[in-house]
Structure 1
């Protein structure tokens, strides 16, 4: 990925925040996107979450981290002016300063978030770890041997292993992006995501 296409941490967090705020407006957002002149593909109607729609718009460069004017227009068209004032008004003046001072490590998911995330994984958690997080069967087995009677602790430790193995890329945004390929994981509607975003925004 080129540096030009790499999203700053603040931009990624903004999309997560807006995605959570817009969950009840997903259908309105879909219709607005389809009626737009952005020439979006039919797949826009297949997106199940507002966050997925915003990511598609971002990928199609309908808006950029240094220019949110089109995003503002879309939000106003679906009567969400409140989000414009709450999240975008200050971006025009302060986004570059905030992005340049935000430590890369501050975007890593916390242990507390992992504890909540464990609750969203069902019986197929090992499949998710292997296919989405690239954790090997051997690594999973070793953790299971260390915590033989506690499945939740096994999952928690595997998540921590993923974070440690991928220090530069194991971010909250990366994890949530991987979850989008697994419809059974209803993580985006979970309050723990908003709580973690708030924590990251405060630099805790």
Structure 2
């Protein structure tokens, strides 16, 4: 059965983190849906790139996904933090045993702010380190017990996406996607 991923988008989200994750998961054969947290499909990202979301929140709210993904970007993370319907969706997904993945500002501004994973080890944008109870300095980190994947920022987007692929599918699938890329040193190639 094909794995299902949901990438939430918000005005001000980080386009590199959103698009890289969508692209790499799609390459792995994961069915990726990207949806606005509001009822407006047009998203203006943090650097002015416009993305047209496939869905709006009301169209995905009652659907189940294997992973829910939050890109960062300061304004985008603030919008995620302030969306009570999104926070409720994250809580329901976590209670159902699904994975939550967040990168850059979102681990601190959303997951930590709402204390969604009080005992989880996480990483995030390095300047947000003080917001974390249990900090990891890794480029990407999977807390298996809490089923949460976090990563640090735009340049770790590939690490983030490959880790999601590894956890949803396996290391072989991550290696197959990694082989299609010209990866810089420091990114796990899974070879």
Same fold (TM over 0.5): no
Greater fraction of residues in strand: 2
Greater fraction of residues in helix: 1
**TM-score of the pair, normalised by structure 2:** 0.28
**TM-score of the pair, normalised by structure 1:** 0.27
Larger radius of gyration between Structure 1 and Structure 2: 1
